[in-house]
Structure 1
Amino acid sequence: MSGKLTVIVGPMYSGKTTELLSFLEIYKLGRKKTLLFKPALDVRYGVDVVRTHSGLEAQAVSVECSKDMLPHLREKVDAVFIDEVQFFDKDLVRIVRKLLDENVNVFCAGLDMTFKQNPFETTMLLLALADEVIKKKAVCHLCGEHNATLSYKISDGDAEIDVGGKEKYIAVCRDCYNSLVVKGLGTSFSGSNEGD
């Protein structure tokens, strides 16, 4: 029997990593063998740890690129968990397919779109392969409704790959996003966003 791929996507602060770690906890409670990977690029909370914005955390294997996962996958595992998949190269899809064929369940979490509303290629390919997609929403930083599906960059810089948290990004609904774009707000916008 083949494994199942679950992909968790949404904007910043929507609880993607929280959901990923909840699935991980279920497998650990069931005494299953698991591995949690994260991209080495993301050092916001440390090198070998995945942490949510609200402080929930788990030990992880930090890797530079997808193929660096392979040495860790030589031993049989029941499930593999991968955070921030948008930062991985598209070879991740090949590795995930191999795991699924080996009856390993895979759980991936990450942004589906950049702050410019462009799809992240690796996330897009994983979504196409997924058995289950969980699309998360966040509370809109501006209107306060639980309908934010977009991330908006409030700091300087046009780079779509730019690791950061509340100092760089807010979650917004489409209406508020469009309003910010029309107003041309970027670094002049100030505020705080709590939560995951």
Structure 2
Amino acid sequence: MAGKLTVITGPMYSGKTTELLSFVEIYRLGRKEVAVFKPEIDNRYHSTMIVSHSGDGVEAFAIKKSKEILEYIDQKTKGVFIDEVQFFDTELFDVVKELLDKGIDVFCAGLDLTHKQNPFETTSLLLSLADTVIKKKAVCHRCGEYNATLTLKIAGGEEEIDVGGQEKYIAVCRNCYNTLKG
């Protein structure tokens, strides 16, 4: 039987990684073999762990290229969990298709939009393949309402791939985004 793809997406601080970690725990509680991955570029909290903003985390393989994921998969693997998919190359799409065809469930978490409201290509590709999409919201940093769907860059340059946390980015609703962008 084919595996299922679940994509968790939304702005920064919406709980994407926390949700991904909850699925890891569910699979582990069910005594299922899992493999957890993160992009090597994202070492904000730890170099070999996926860590949520609240500090929860699990060990992960830090990889540079999507194809490397296949090196860590064997016949016992039942679930693959990938965080920060927006930082991976678009080949992740083909890797995930291969895992699904092997009957492995895949869970991906990542930003859907850049701080300029442009789609992240790898995330968009995975969304098109997903069996289930979980679209998260955050509390707007400016107005305090639970309707933030966008990420706003508040420090650093204008580049769209720029790893950072609260020192560089906030989550905002569309109204506050438009107000703050002027």
Residue 128 (str. 1) matches residue 128 (str. 2)? yes
How far apart, in 1, do the equivalents of 2:167 and 2:65 lie? 26
Which residue of 2 is the match for residue 105 of structure 1? Answer: 105
Structure 1 residue runs without a partner (length 5+): 183-196
Q: Secondary structure at the match of 1:145?
A: coil
Deviation at 1:45, TM superposition (A): 1.1
Which residue of 2 is the match for residue 22 of structure 1? Answer: 22
Q: Deviations over 1:105-148 (max 9, x none)?
A: 00000000000000000000000000000000000000000000
How far apart, in 2, do the equivalents of 1:73 and 1:86 lie? 21
Structure ranking higher in strand proportion: 2
How far apart, in 1, do the equivalents of 2:74 and 2:98 lie? 12
Q: Deviations over 1:4-26 (max 9, x none)?
A: 00000000000000000000000
Q: Deviations over 1:78-130 (max 9, x none)?
A: 00000000000010000100000111000000000000000000000000000
Which residue of 1 is the match for residue 156 of structure 2? Answer: 156
Q: Deviations over 1:148-187 (max 9, x none)?
A: 00000000201100000000000000000000111xxxxx
**AA matched with 1:77:** T
1:9-158 matches, within 5 Å, as 9-158=9-158
Deviation at 1:75, TM superposition (A): 4.3
**AA matched with 1:107:** F
Deviation at 1:76, TM superposition (A): 3.1
Q: Secondary structure at the match of 1:45?
A: coil
% same residue: 64
Residue 176 (str. 1) matches residue 173 (str. 2)? no
How far apart, in 1, do the equivalents of 2:53 and 2:75 lie? 31
**AA matched with 1:17:** T
How far apart, in 1, do the equivalents of 2:75 and 2:62 lie? 17
TM-score (ref. length: structure 2): 0.99
Superposed structure 1 runs of 4+ greater than 2 Å apart: none
Which residue of 2 is the match for residue 4 of structure 1? Answer: 4
Structure 2 residue runs without a partner (length 5+): none
Deviation at 1:67, TM superposition (A): 1.2
How far apart, in 1, do the equivalents of 2:56 and 2:91 lie? 29
- RMSD of the TM alignment (CA)? 0.7
Q: How many residues are aligned here?
A: 182
How far apart, in 1, do the equivalents of 2:128 and 2:71 lie? 26
